[in-house]
Amino acid sequence: MAKKKKAKKQAKHDPQAAAPASVADTRNDADPLPKMKRKEYEAEMRRLHGELVAMQEWVKSSGAKICIVFEGRDTAGKGGTIKRITERVSPRVFHVVALAAPTEREGSQMYIQRYIPHFPAAGEVMIFDRSWYNRAGVERVMGFCTPEQSERFLEQVPAVEKAMVDSGILLLKYWLEVGPDEQTRRLESRINDPRKIWKLSDMDLKSYSRWYDYSRARDAMFAATDTAWGPWYIARTDDKKRGRLNIITHLLSQVPYEKLARPDVTLPKRRGAGGYVEPELPLRYIPTPF
C-alpha cells in the first residue's frame, strides 16, 4: 500500500512517470469517447484558430523560432492536422515543409543536410510533414537504407536536435498513432472515394502489410530520440476531430506566447468618385450556374 501511495505521489509531480508504458495504451480504451459532433468540433476549432493567430503575432513580434515535426502511421491524419493548423494563419509565418524523395546529389550528402535550410529563422513557424525521421521509419522498414545507416542516424540525431534547441529553436515532435482497424478503414476509403484516391500511394500499399515492422521501428526511434530537449508527444487520432483539437491545444500550451494588445481600428471614409465612370470594355465574366 505504501508503494502505491509513493507511486501516485511521484506521478502527481512528474507527468512522465504517469505516462502509459506502451503507445498502444490509451486513456479511454476501456470506455472510448463518442465521436465528436461537427458543430462542437467547429466551435472548438474556431476558438483554437483565434489562439493560433495570437501565437502568430507573438512569434512575429518576439522573433521566436518554432519547428514542429509531424510523424506517424500512414493515414493517421498528419496532413489534415497540418491543414487545420495553417488554414487561418499567414503563410508568411507558418511554412509547411514536405520534401520529395532525395535527388542523387542529396542522397550523397549527410542525411539531415537537406532539411537544415528549412529550419526556422526569427519570426517563423516551420511545420515538417514528415521529416528527417524518414530514415528511422519508412527508409528502415522498406529497405531504402541499410540497418547500419538507420542505427547511425538514431545515434546522431539527438545531438543535431540539441544544437537546434541551443540555437533558440523551439522543437516540437508529434507522433500520430492510429489503430490497425481504423487504418484499414481509411485506406479502403481512399480506394473507393474519387476525392481521396490521390492520397493512396504505392508506398501505402507496400507498407500496409508491415504494421509490426513499423511498430518496431517506431519503438527504436522513441528509445533513441525521446530526449529532454526533443521529447516525442504522442496523439491518438482514431477520432480525427478529437485528435486535431488535442494536438493544437497541446501545441499552444508548449509555446510561451502572450496575446498582444490590439489597436482600435476604424475604417477611413472612401474618397469620392472624382469623375470616375466605369468604362465600356469587353470584359469576360465567368458563367454563373450557381
How does DSSP classify residue 82?
H
Element (H, E) at 177: strand 169-177
Each residue's pLDDT, cut to its tens digit, for the chain (290 residues) gives: 444 444 444 444 443 444 444 565 444 455 678 888 999 999 999 999 999 999 999 999 999 999 999 999 999 999 999 999 999 999 999 999 999 999 999 999 999 999 999 999 999 999 999 999 999 999 999 999 999 999 999 999 999 999 999 999 999 999 999 999 999 999 999 998 999 888 888 888 889 999 999 999 999 999 999 999 999 999 999 999 999 999 999 999 999 999 999 889 999 999 999 999 999 999 999 999 99
Please give the model's pTM, rounded to 2 decimal places: 0.86
Q: What are phi and psi of 37, to 5 degrees?
A: -75, 150
- Spell 89-126 as b/e; 16+ CB within 10 A means b: beeebbebbeeeeeeeeeeeeebeebbeeebbeebbbb
Q: What is the pLDDT of residues 234-259, one digit of tens each?
A: 999 999 999 999 999 999 999 999 99
The cell for 15 is: 507527468
Is residue 165 within 8 A of residue 159, CB to CB? The reply is no
Reported as half-sphere exposure (CB side, CA atoms, 13 A), residue 260 has a value of 14
pLDDT reported for residue 201: 84
Is residue 236 within 8 A of residue 25, CB to CB? The reply is no
- Measure the CA–CA gap between 8 and 23, rounded to whole angstroms: 21
Is residue 45 within 8 A of residue 84, CB to CB? The reply is yes
